[in-house]
Chain A
Amino acid sequence: MSNITYASINDDILKSLEPPGKKWAASLSVALTMLAMGIFAFGYQIRHGLEGSGINNPIGWGVYITDFVFWVGIAHAGTLISAVLYLVRAPFRTSIYRASEAMTVFAVMTAGLFPLIHIGRVWNFYWLIPYPNQRLLWVNFKSPLLWDVFAVNTYMSVSIAFFLLGLIPDFASVRDESKGLKKLIYTIPALGFRGTNHQWMHYMRAYLIFAAICTPLVFSVHSIVSWDFAMGSIPGWHTTIFPPYFVAGAIFSGCAMVLTIMIPTRMAFKGFDQIMKIKDLEAMAKMIIFTGLVVTYAYSMEFFVAYYSGSRYERAIFWFRPFGELKWFFWGMVFCNCISPIPLWSKKIRTNIGALFVISILVNIGMWLERFNIVVTSLAHDFDPYAWSMYKFQWVEIWITIGSFGWFFMWFFLFVKIMPSLAVAELKEALNPPLRSAK
């Protein structure tokens, strides 16, 4: 890293903020088109009711809740990387955490939409918030869904705050590096930061506390999401293994998503590969291996417990998943989440960008399937055999899902152009400082 200096870091990273090229414009417009599809479908759903989605009588939750859990899961890696790895001073953190935090924020913003999208009367969504109202009606704090409202909102505000906090010094450097209008624009978010010792002192302490608080928050949020199911009474949901299992799954999918996003970013901007080194991605891959093992263990445990419980209903649902009408979702999940990460054990593949990218995509798909499995198969096969049912996908839910990706990537594309997608100050921190004695 000898050739990297404080100055060069500034130059490299701030290059990414130069006016966008055609490629960027093209990809943004693709994202916007997807978003438009989603908005259209959602509008149609508001107009006509939830008929356009495959949800049906016993299966009250389907693709929307699957998407919700999927995006919340994605959202976790970001904070986890930036917070936990910060606490443990993991060296590979600095190069990737800004982008993954951005990912977190946008993923939460996406996830936050789905509880609204999936409810029958979205125009009354605000009834979920405990605000003083003329009818003197309050919300039901006994409902896991309400815990969700609190968890997701807390998580969103915290991760946004954390994200922006980390950006302040970098905005400052952008301000100092730029002239004219741009300088003026960046002066505002920089909040007059000039790296004085007072600023740094309090800033660093606050940042440390943020990290310390975000760590349990990450775990709590996905545990609460998992309670939406674990608190339910139906077989396949009603299990104590869910919180850890969900958290592991979240990190799993999160790390995969980080790779899915960072690898193209890394290629898109030259100079990034100097900073975002293979070994950093490799570290991500290692996390994937580990969390992949955890979820695999969780899957097998579920089956064992179902067998060991002796409960006819539990056994039935865990028989149904691999062998029932919806078995392909299950086997797809097993392939993507348990099998596909295995190659990562070899350093060769771990360090091969292409392979990493493919596997990360597979894992993302796998995690979507996992959520679909949990949400849908359990509902499709619960207590009353008379009510057992199947899930038929419909266009509206598919378009809305596409739209959610459009929404997510729109934000990400905007982000890489208006914010330094790597943490300038922290990268400098990671360098050896310029020392006369070192010369």
Chain B
Amino acid sequence: MSKEFTGVWGTFEYLDDTCHAIKELRKAGYQKLTTHTPCPRHEIDHALGDPQSRVPFFSLAGMFVGFTLALTIMTYMTLDWILPVSGKPVVSYPIMGPVLFELSVLMTIYFTVFGMVGLILRDTFRHAKPVSKRYRDYDRFMRDRFGVVVPCTAHDYEKVEAIFNKFQAEEVHREA
């Protein structure tokens, strides 16, 4: 978070207040919001206009990678040193099933994790957040408080605060 942050952040005790506040803010043209919730709430997603995650694409890619990897190593290794066993063909496809599946799963999972982390970092960098100690040490977001962070310029402070207070935010802080 190198870049200077200016804006307002507030906390709410109630979910519905939070959602109304978010809607109001977005109507007022503040799109780059960051919210804090103790647990995932679909109400918030709706309020934010149901953004979609791109993680599944990573998973799909992982699946393909795993599958190809398995196919290659199995074919290569059996042909690298030909050791026939019983009546089976040297390169036999039916027996590849289990390993193909397992490796596909494995890769899918790895790609999903890395995709998730990557996407989260990307979004976090795109959305500025306060740097003040007050914000960083606020420890009730993971407990029972909802938070909304609105990046805005100094002359919008009153406007944003008004919206916060309208929905009875617990605390409202300016960050400059």
Where the two chains meet, the residues of A that have a C-beta atom closer than 8 Å to any C-beta of B are 5-7, 10, 130, 136-142, 146-147, 150-151, 154, 157-158, 161, 165, 169, 172-173, 175-177, 193-206, 209-210, 213, 216-217, 220, 224, 227, 424-426, 428-429, 433-437
Contacts and interface: CB of A to CB of B under 8 A. Distances in A.
Interface string B75-104: 001101101010010001001101101110
Nearest to A170: B142
B74 interface: yes
A205 B38 contact: no
A154 B105 CA distance: 8
A197 B112 contact: no
A161 B113 contact: yes
B39 A169 contact: yes
A436 B16 CA distance: 7
A238 B87 CA distance: 18
Interface residues of B, number: 60
Nearest to A6: B144
A137 B40 CA distance: 50
A202 B38 contact: no
A141 B78 contact: yes
A179 to B, nearest CB: 10
A150 B99 contact: yes
A198 B106 contact: no
Q: Which 5 A-B pairs have the closest CB atoms?
A: A6-B144, A198-B123, A138-B77, A205-B53, A176-B139
Given A172-B142, A209-B112, A138 B106 contact: no
A391 B81 CA distance: 39
A218 to B, nearest CB: 11
Given A198-B123, A209-B56, A436-B14, A130 B73 contact: yes
Contacts of A136: 80-81
B42 to A, nearest CB: 10
Interface of B: 13-17, 33-41, 43-45, 48, 51, 53, 55-56, 59, 73-74, 77-78, 80-81, 83, 85, 88, 92, 95-96, 98-99, 101-103, 105-106, 108-109, 112-113, 115-116, 119-120, 123-124, 127, 139-144, 168
Contacts of A199: 120, 124
26 contacts: A137-B81, A138-B80, A139-B77, A146-B99, A150-B98, A151-B102, A158-B106, A161-B109, A172-B142, A176-B143, A195-B39, A197-B37, A197-B45, A198-B34, A198-B123, A200-B40, A202-B53, A202-B123, A206-B112, A209-B55, A209-B108, A227-B98, A425-B38, A428-B38, A434-B13, A436-B17
A424 B143 CA distance: 9
Given A177-B143, A210-B109, 6 more contacts: A154-B106, A195-B39, A205-B56, A209-B55, A224-B102, A428-B39
Contact of B36 (A195, A209, A227, A429): A195
A139 B51 CA distance: 47
Given A194-B142, A201-B51, A425-B38, A147 B98 contact: yes
Contacts of A142: 85, 88, 92, 95
Contact of B141 (A147, A158, A194, A436): A194
B162 to A, nearest CB: 19
B144 A202 contact: no
A200 B77 CA distance: 43
B17 to A, nearest CB: 6
A433 B19 CA distance: 12
Contacts of A424: 39
Contacts of B141: 176, 194-195
Contact of B106 (A157, A209, A428): A157
B14 A434 contact: yes
B35 to A, nearest CB: 4
B40 A176 contact: no
B140 to A, nearest CB: 7
A201 B59 CA distance: 16
A7 B74 contact: no
Nearest to A173: B142
B74 A197 contact: no
A199 B129 CA distance: 14
Nearest to B37: A195
Contacts of B105: 154, 158, 213, 216-217, 220
A196 B34 contact: yes
A87 to B, nearest CB: 15
Nearest to B145: A6
A136 B82 CA distance: 11
B15 A433 contact: yes
Nearest to B81: A136
Which of B35, B105, B106 gathers the greatest number of chain A CB atoms within 10 Å? Answer: B105
Contacts of B112: 206, 209-210, 213
